[in-house]
Amino acid sequence: MLFTPPRTQLPLYGLQVFECAARHLSFTLAADELCVSQGAVSKQIAQLEARLGHLLFVRGTRSLTLTPAAERLLPFIREGLVRMGEGLSALQALPHEQAISIKVPSCASRWVLRRLQAFEGEAVEVRGSHHHGIDFSREPFDLAIVYQPCLGRYPNSQPLFREQLTPVCAPAFAAKHRLFERSLEELPLLPLIHASVDRRDWRNWFAAFIATPWQPQGGQLFDTLDLAMNAALQGFGLSLGDPTIVAEELESGALVAPFVPVLETDHEYALLVCPGNPPPGVTRVCQWLLGERPSF
C-alpha cells in the first residue's frame, strides 16, 4: 500500500518534478522544462522516493523507466496537478475584489474612521476632502458622507446626524483662561479659532447666545473644522466643535466644553450611495454606518 502523508506535509514540488520526469522519461528534459539543473531533479526524486518508501524510476545507463509503484502513483498526481491548475484558473477568472471607496468631508473624518475601525467585512478606502458635496458622475466613489442643508437635501440621502456646535478647548487652555468661571459675554475677548474665512460658525453661535453684536477681531484662522479642532487640541484657543464628532476627545478629557449652550445648525451629515449597481458590500457598510448614528 502506498504511503499517504498528511495533506499539510505533501511534497508538492517533488511531486511536480516526478510528473515532469515521468512524462519525459528523462531527468535532463525535466530539468530543462523546470529551469533547474539535472542534479536538482535527481535530488528531488531521491528525496521523494525516500519519503514514499518506493523507488519510482529504474535508472539505466541511457534510459529511465517507471517502476510499478510509479505507474500506480502517476495518474493520481497528474489528476491532482490538473485540478489545481483548474482551481487557479477559476480563481483568476473571478472579478478582483476592490475596496469600497468613501468620500468624507474632512470635518467628519474623525466620526467615520472611528466607526469603520470596528467594522468587520469588506475593505474600505476613505478619502478626505475639503469639499462637502459629491458628484458621482465625475468622482469615482461608491458612497459619500455629505454635509448638506437640512432643507435641500441630496435626493435619496440618508441623514446620519444633525450638526451641533459648542465651544471646546484643551484643558490647559481652559485652566489658563479660567473659562469655567467666565460668562458667555466674555467669550469674544478670548483667543478664538475659526474654521472658515467668514468666521460664520462663531458669528452664528454668538448671534444665538449673546445679546451684544460680535465684531470679529483676529483669532486663529484655518481652512477646515478638522484643522481647527486639531489646533484646539494643541491649546491654540477656543474652537467650535460638534459634540458628536469629538465625543471621544470629550470623554477622554483631551477636550473640554466649558460652556453649556449648544447650537443646532441648519445643516446635517448624511450618507449617499452612488446610483446604479454598487459593488457587493456597499449595503453592509451603509447599514453599519447608519446603525452607528447617535441617538439624541
The DSSP annotation for 280-294 comes to: TTHHHHHHHHHHT--
Residue type, 20: C
pLDDT at 120: 67
Helix residue ranges, H only, the chain: 12-24, 27-34, 38-52, 68-93, 109-117, 171-176, 200-209, 225-233, 247-252, 282-291
Q: What are the two backbone dihedrals, phi and then psi, of residue 252, each rounded to the nearest 5 degrees?
A: -80, -15
CA distance 101 to 143: 7
**Secondary structure of 166-214 as H, E, C letters:** EEEECHHHHHHCCHHHCCHHHHHHCCEEECCCCCHHHHHHHHHHCCCCC
Contacts by 284-288, CB closer than 8 A, 24 or more apart: 284/121, 284/122, 285/100, 285/102, 285/116, 285/119, 285/121, 285/122, 285/124, 285/143, 286/143, 286/158, 288/115, 288/116, 288/119, 288/121
Relative to beta strand 64-66, strand 57-59 is antiparallel
Q: Name the residue with cell 450618507.
A: 271
pLDDT at 89: 82
- Give 26's contacts (C-beta < 8 A, 6+ positions apart): 64
Whether pLDDT at 73 is above 90: yes
Q: Pick from 168, 166, 148, 165: which is nearest to 156 by CA?
A: 148
Which cell goes with 88? Answer: 487557479
Q: Pick from 19, 29, 272: which is nearest to 159 by CA?
A: 272
> In this prediction, what percent of the chain has a pLDDT beyond 90?
41
Q: What is the pLDDT of residues 166-213, one digit of tens each?
A: 999 999 999 999 999 999 988 888 899 998 888 888 989 999 998 777
> In this prediction, what percent of the chain has a pLDDT beyond 70?
91
- Give 209's contacts (C-beta < 8 A, 6+ positions apart): 184, 261, 263
Structural domains for the chain = 7-93 (1.10.10.10), 100-291 (3.40.190.290)
pLDDT tier for residue 121 given thresholds of 50, 70 and 90: low
Which cell goes with 161? Answer: 446626524
172 CB burial (10 A radius; 0-12, 13-18, 19+): exposed
Mean pLDDT score of the chain: 86
CA distance 17 to 51: 14
Contact 134, 141 (CB under 8 A): yes
Q: What is the pLDDT of residues 31-45, one digit of tens each?
A: 999 888 999 999 999
Neighbours of 114 (CB within 10 A): 13
Cα distance from N-terminal residue to C-terminal residue, the chain: 72
Q: Name the residue with cell 536538482.
A: 40
Q: What are the two backbone dihedrals, phi and then psi, of residue 138, each rounded to the nearest 5 degrees?
A: -120, -20
pLDDT at 97: 60
Q: Which residues pair with 104 in a beta bridge?
A: 128
